[in-house]
Amino acid sequence: MLAALSALVCVGCATTPTATPQKSGGGIEWPGRRDVSDITNLGAVDGGAALAASAAIREVVQRVGPQSELFSKCPSPAAALDARVFKWRDVYYVTVDERFDRCGEARSRFPDWFESYAVSPAGVVLARRGSEPEQARAAPTSAQVRR
């Protein structure tokens, strides 16, 4: 109930007094009061953590290739990825995991695959660590897709 009330208050501040969604700037449809039940609150994230997550996801997408067949059923490559952000000694540590279930497929296509990145508060990737032994740390390729 609190989440719905928070969304209503937030949406009410962002829209005009009418209850219908409004188009503004670039044809984007903003939620109105009638859309409160459809809004998902993803929680608050500090700015540095958001930059770190974005940098890590971009790095994974670049390594795999944004046009890879791995992402062919997804609205965007990022839709198939999750990021968990941790902070230690002024460095963000981001673990990126696959979530192909959001694209109509099995949740995981590569058992035990993940990528971890150390990222500066400014969003600069400092280092990468994969889930596999040193010689096999490359991101999965489309040839490795399980069928």
Angle at 145 between CA 93 and CA 131, to 5 degrees: 25
The radius of gyration of the chain's CA atoms, rounded to the nearest angstrom, is 19
Q: What count of Cα atoms within 13 Å lies in the side-chain half-sphere of residue 113?
A: 21
7 has a pLDDT exceeding 80: no
Greater confidence (29 vs 7) lies with: 29
Q: Please name the helix (run of DSSP H) or strand (run of DSSP E) that holds residue 97, with its range, or none.
A: strand 91-98
Q: What pLDDT, on the 0 to 100 scale, is given for residue 64?
A: 82
Greater confidence (54 vs 31) lies with: 54
84-132: pLDDT as tens digits: 999 999 999 999 988 888 887 766 666 667 789 999 999 999 999 876 5
pTM to 2 decimal places: 0.63
Task: Give first-to-last CA distance, the chain, whole Å.
Answer: 42
Burial status of residue 78 (CB atoms within 10 A of its CB: 0-12, 13-18, 19 or more): buried
Q: Please name the helix (run of DSSP H) or strand (run of DSSP E) that holds residue 128, with its range, or none.
A: strand 125-130
Cα–Cα nearest to 57, from 87, 90, 84: 84
